[in-house]
Amino acid sequence: MGEGRQYWLMKSEPDVFSIDDLARSPNHTTSWNGVRNYQARNFMRAMKLGDQVLFYHSNANPPSVVGIAEVVKIAYPDATQFDPQDPHFDPASKPEQPRWDVVDIRFVHKFETSLSLDVLRGQPRLKGMELLRRGSRLSVQPVRAAEWNQVVRLGRGRADG
């Protein structure tokens, strides 16, 4: 069988959908729709039940990792791609062969302290993190186990990092 639990990071603009919105959602769960980038989609397709997700607020002040979610439903077609009224409508995607997927994620935990990019950049152990790469725009990205552990340790209370 495959490896164990894997780790990911997903970006959302808090003005559009914040971690508090996730916590307030029915069953604390939402479908992650609107992804229209193939690399990000492929990462979602690789997600398994129970995979853990860092929830990141982009276009925020400051941009920060704010908590944890988990995958509760694996990839399935994104309904918004077929809805002409939806901003994410994709006229080229056919229902027989959907181009875009979602996964469902559920709220797990909100950090006591949000971890800004500045704070994360100050962590030598996070040097190779995709999020911190200059020009990194991927809205769904993998996180290494060591990076996950470090970020969560920071989020649980920044006493000694």
Partner DNA sequence: GCCAACGTTGGC
Give the footprint of DNA on this chain (CB under 7 A): 11, 13, 36-39, 58-60, 62-63, 117-118, 133-139
Closer Cβ to DNA, 14 or 152, answer by number = 14
> Which lies closer to DNA via its Cβ, residue 11 or residue 52?
11
Least distance CB 49 / DNA (angstroms): 25
Query: Cis peptide before 26, with omega less than 30 degrees from 0?
Result: no
The H or E element that residue 64 is part of is strand 64-77
CA distances from 154 to 47, 71, 81, 128, 147 (A): 24, 22, 37, 17, 11
Find the shortest distance in angstroms from Cβ 149 to DNA.
Answer: 22
* Cβ-based nearer residue to DNA, 5 or 94: 94
Q: 53-81 in b/e burial notation, b at 16+ Cβ within 10 A?
A: bbbbbbebeebbbbbbbbbbebbeebebb
| Closer CB to DNA, 59 or 149, in the complex | 59
Provide the minimum distance between the beta carbon of 140 and DNA in the complex, in angstroms, as a whole number. 9
Minimum distance from CB of 42 to DNA (Å)?
A: 11
